[in-house]
Structure 1
Amino acid sequence: MKKISLPEGKKIYFASDNHLGAPTKEKSFPREQNFVRWLDEVKKDAAAIFLLGDLFDFWFEYKTVIPKGFTRTLGKLAEITDAGIPVYYFVGNHDLWMNGYFEEELNIPVYHQPQEFSFNSTTFLIGHGDGLGPGDKGYKRMKKVFTNPVAKWFFRWLHPDLGVRLAQYLSVKNKLISGDDDVTFLGEDNEWLVQYCKRKLETKHTDHFVFGHRHLPMEIDLKDNSKYTNLGDWIIHYTYAVFDGNEMELEKYTLPE
């Protein structure tokens, strides 16, 4: 478990599911501008920033090439880490193929599985959320293919112009690949991330479970003062979470007029 000291007046920020580049880079550009404004605002009192995946609608790192675009986002993240504010990234189902660029160029650690953190004495389990809990078997099978080293090796041999274009098309069109479910609340008994958290609590207490992926802002009280938070998205909801050392709250970013 990684422990982070939260000084008085500082906060931990969480955001997820920007899907920059979808449905096109031109149409997602205003959302990118809003997200960069948010980063600029929260850096003023951030002890750390957690990005929980699907920042991009597609991201694949070739040996010497990354997808074109997103300069403002990447530049702002570099500015934040250069200022000494740690940023942590959890890959989502649309950006599974990170392989060192964020670590080497932006000084941002990247996690492929949920991780435990402790902020002062408060415990968190943090991740993107895809493929966790019961159900979603079709996506879980597909994820095994996508993360297979042989499959990644073959894809890397495609010319980036062809590979990126193909992957972007599939990312938008294919629900099995994207893992995106209907973004309506299914009830606690059918929300598989809620079930995942409850199963975790059977063996170990965690104060807060924080995930993305569902594109639906949620705050659900579990047993023994434990809480599940889903961050929503930056497509429709523009929601994020803040932990101030005592309380964990979902908030909505006010878009500029």
Structure 2
Amino acid sequence: MKLPKDKYIYFSSDNHLGAPTDELSKPRELKFVAWLDEVKKDAEAIFLLGDLFDFWFEYKHAVPKGFVRVLGKLAEIRDSGIPIYFFVGNHDLWMRDYFQKELNIPVYHKPKEFTFNDKTFLIGHGDGLGPGDKGYKRMKKVFTNKFFQWCYRWLHPDIGVPIAKHLSVKNKLISGDEDAKFLGEDNEWLVQYAKRKLEQKHYDYFVFGHRHLPLEIEVGNNSKYINLGDWISYYTYGKFDGETMSLNTFKE
């Protein structure tokens, strides 16, 4: 992808819409919609790096109700011709084809490489990567198991959705509450993941979410790991101008 002059690529992650309650998350949803309205003016592309929702599950003929403002805004932006890319997080990993069919937004379940101008990026949500985090990795294997998903789909949404919402907030392996503090470079598993990937191939930027912390860390020669933070405490986002990537804070 080549960026025209005065165009930018934007990155956002970890909105957790619906948490801790629909009522309390509504102001955050409105703020995120305001951000989308702002960036659409000069966006060449928008990347959403997961956990847009605190819980999401696609039944064959139904999706969780709510979030119409953000879904409508994404549809508007995509219909205007601006590409949007979505990477599932640990809270919305049960996405299937709704975004693709309804919004024309591709959905990725693993990190993916991109090249913008002459800069190489590795982009993803970040959950389950690198050393450690073994409890969550075991849980993710269960959640991504096709048989488990098939069994869960037989629960009526009036039963399945409240159960999943409760676990999404209360279960620390799912919610990530234990990872809310900076652990130091040697203990940040996404930093270690980035350094290991550099042994195989050079990337200018590793861009992830999941950690809920805005971070910019040099991981190699001309290589940087960036964590996008969140839309709960920081309201931070990434912006690439064709040469450099920066972290910014949205203020209405």
Determine if the TM-score, normalized by the shorter chain, exceeds 0.5: yes
Task: Give 2:106's aligned residue.
Answer: 109
AA paired with 2:10?
Y
- Work out whether residues 181 and 214 of structure 1, in 8 Å CA contact, stay in contact via their aligned partners in 2: no
Task: Give 1:122's aligned residue.
Answer: 119
Q: Within 5 Å, which residues of 2 pair with 1:112-191?
A: 112-191=109-188
Task: Give 1:74's aligned residue.
Answer: 71
Aligned Cα root-mean-square deviation (Å):
0.7
Task: Give 2:7's aligned residue.
Answer: 10
Task: Give 2:231's aligned residue.
Answer: 234
Stretches of 4+ aligned residues off by more than 2 angstroms: 177-182
Task: Give 1:43's aligned residue.
Answer: 40
Equivalent position to 1:83, from 73, 80, 85: 80
Task: Give 1:192's aligned residue.
Answer: 189
- Work out whether residues 93 and 179 of structure 1, in 8 Å CA contact, stay in contact via their aligned partners in 2: no
Distance 2:224 2:194 in 1: 9
Task: Give 1:96's aligned residue.
Answer: 93
- Segments of 5+ residues of structure 1 without an aligned counterpart are none
Distance 2:167 2:40 in 1: 35
How far did residue 51 of structure 1 move?
0.2
Task: Give 1:203's aligned residue.
Answer: 200
Percent identity between the aligned chains?
A: 73
AA paired with 2:241?
D
Number of equivalenced pairs: 252
- Segments of 5+ residues of structure 2 without an aligned counterpart are none
TM-score, length of structure 1 as denominator length:
0.97
Equivalent position to 1:252, from 240, 249, 252: 249
AA paired with 1:187?
G
How far did residue 226 of structure 1 move?
0.3
AA paired with 1:20?
L
- Work out whether residues 59 and 66 of structure 1, in 8 Å CA contact, stay in contact via their aligned partners in 2: yes
Cα deviation digits, residues 164-222 of structure 1 (max 9, x gap):
01000000000123344331111110000000000000110000000000000000012
Equivalent position to 1:54, from 48, 51, 56: 51
